[in-house]
Amino acid sequence: MDDVVIGIDASTTAVKAIAFARDGAELFQARETYPLSNPAPGHFEQDAEHWWAALLSALKQVADKIGASRVKAISIAHQRESFTLIDGAGKPLIPAILWLDERARRQVTRLSEELGREAIRDWSGKPPDPTPALYALAWLMEHKPNVLAEAAALVDVHAFFAHRLTGRLVTSTASADPLGLLDIAKGTWHPRLVEAAGLRPQQLPELIVPGAICGLLSEDIAAATGLKAGTPVVAGAGDGQAMGLGMGVDGPGKSYLSLGSGVVSGSYSAMVTTSDAFRTLVSPTGSGFMLETVLRSGMQLVDWIVRITGSPSAAVLEKAAMTAAPGSDGLLVMPYWAGVMSPYWDGAARGAVVGLSLDHEPRHLFRAVLEGIAFEQAIATDAMEEQTGKAAAMIAAGGGTNCALLMEIMANVLERPLFVSPVNEAAALGAAMLAATAIGWFASPEDAAKAMAGPPARRVDPVEALIPTYRARKAIYRDLYHATRDIHARLASLRKTSG
């Protein structure tokens, strides 16, 4: 029986603990869900104890199935930006505030004015936006100062788990970075950002590089899970970076494209560089950086269209949309149903459908939404590749890869072939690669990625004859946000007044 490593993926909805072999084969997966709370408009929270209970259960299932003696290391990938505050005994003092939370929009404005918008972006690598924890912490400083002052520590998901698994209060730089409190160039806590968050330096976890050993599994946790005491717990990364590594994006010349509810893309950069066009993140390999773009509304727009049109399924609409010509008979869709992060960082922005006529049918709207997602991605990719150079390979994963029409449109608009990853659980696999490297299976995370990621499942090529058509429409699409920005800002102002 061969040895295995466990990759943990603690997402917004569930903890997955997956046993992987040395070749990256998934041997067994345990998944435990937990609830999401929305106690007030824009507030999204979870009980960190639910994360912990789910992790213990998932690890026990893996140990029972695989055998404790086979498990040689554990590593953690997780939902980014989400955090809680703990007391000296490690117990949460508040519900965890999630990356989805938008309560701190006023704090984004305040800190941008006080510290300078560009200064925050260049220090942290993140243009000001409610997603990083910095702003929710500033909200706590204003609304719950006592709990913030009395907390023993701020913990991201990684630090919360590592502390309970090993007794050591430590997190990975690639896990802490999305909180928005790191000096991206130095990989250390930034004093001005920590102060702006209302924290003291002693309230922060120790930082180590991804792939370093956080500590060893304690006796009591070993007893609770069935794993062996002393099993190394390896520093992982946020799920976005870990996903890229799991898809084989381990250095220059490659980029990843995750087509899920949102659309996330990333490219490796050897040098630190910051821009409104992307977020800059610590690389999960511990060397270099990942430039990342995020479109909040991705495949969830497909679900939305199915719902509002009353169509039996997305497959039925997709089949109909294939009969619509490229360009959707003059329709353009700006897919900002949930606002926009890169490159405009505008929470007031909303979706727009332009060019409607009495001749349009649901099939045109479906195709136009897919084209809008592709146009948005192409603009984001262009901006990233001004810094990194054009990627020789773009590797796609996520539910959207099952939509053949979207993949065809993406290849045409991006003007390159897309390679579909064979990996379903890329974030957990990325964590497993770091575990495998830490215990000496591979010399580096890059070597682990080459051995464990596997060859592409398929390739989708662009149709050269359609590239000019899409290129002309992309040029028009590029102006759509600027044409509607003030209108959406005025509508948002009216919503606030009436609300």
Q: What are the structural domains of the chain?
A: 4-241 (3.30.420.40), 249-420+463-499 (3.30.420.40)
Q: Closest by alpha carbon to 406, among 366, 436, 452?
A: 366
**C-alpha 164: how far from its chain's center?**
24
Q: Tens-of-pLDDT digits for all 499 residues of the chain?
A: 699 999 999 999 999 999 999 999 999 999 999 999 999 998 999 999 999 999 999 999 999 999 999 999 999 999 999 999 999 999 999 999 999 899 999 999 999 999 999 999 999 999 999 999 999 999 999 999 999 999 999 999 999 999 999 999 999 999 999 999 999 999 999 999 999 999 999 999 999 999 999 999 999 999 999 999 999 999 999 999 999 999 998 888 889 999 988 899 999 999 999 999 999 999 999 889 999 999 988 898 999 999 999 999 999 999 999 999 999 999 999 999 988 988 999 988 999 999 999 999 999 999 999 999 999 999 999 988 888 888 888 999 988 999 999 999 999 999 999 999 998 899 999 999 999 999 999 999 999 999 999 889 999 999 999 999 999 999 999 999 999 999 999 998 887 766 5
Q: Residue 329 corresponds to which tokens in the numbers above?
A: 């008979």
Task: Give yes or no for a contact between 30 and 16, defined as CB atoms under 8 angstroms apart.
Answer: yes
Q: Closest by alpha carbon to 177, among 124, 239, 111?
A: 124
Helix then strand count (H, E) for the chain reads: 18, 23
| Whole-number Å distance between alpha carbons of 359 and 351 | 21
CA angle 189, 254, 19 (to 5 degrees): 70
Task: Give yes or no for a contact between 175 and 237, defined as CB atoms under 8 angstroms apart.
Answer: yes
**C-alpha 298: how far from its chain's center?**
13
Q: Closest by alpha carbon to 484, among 357, 382, 372, 383?
A: 372
Task: Give yes or no for a contact between 266 and 256, defined as CB atoms under 8 angstroms apart.
Answer: yes
Please give the pLDDT value at position 286.
Answer: 86
CA angle 38, 159, 189 (to 5 degrees): 100
Q: Closest by alpha carbon to 393, among 258, 267, 260?
A: 267
Beta bridge partner(s), residue 75 = 7, 234
Q: Which of helix, strand or coil describes residue 60? A: helix
Please give the pLDDT value at position 262.
Answer: 87
Task: Give yes or no for a contact between 473 and 329, defined as CB atoms under 8 angstroms apart.
Answer: no
Backbone dihedral angles phi then psi of residue 152, each to the nearest 5 degrees: -75, -35
Q: Closest by alpha carbon to 121, among 265, 287, 344, 273?
A: 273
Please give the pLDDT value at position 1.
Answer: 60
Backbone dihedral angles phi then psi of residue 325, each to the nearest 5 degrees: -70, 155
| Whole-number Å distance between alpha carbons of 364 and 356 | 10
Please give the pLDDT value at position 424.
Answer: 86
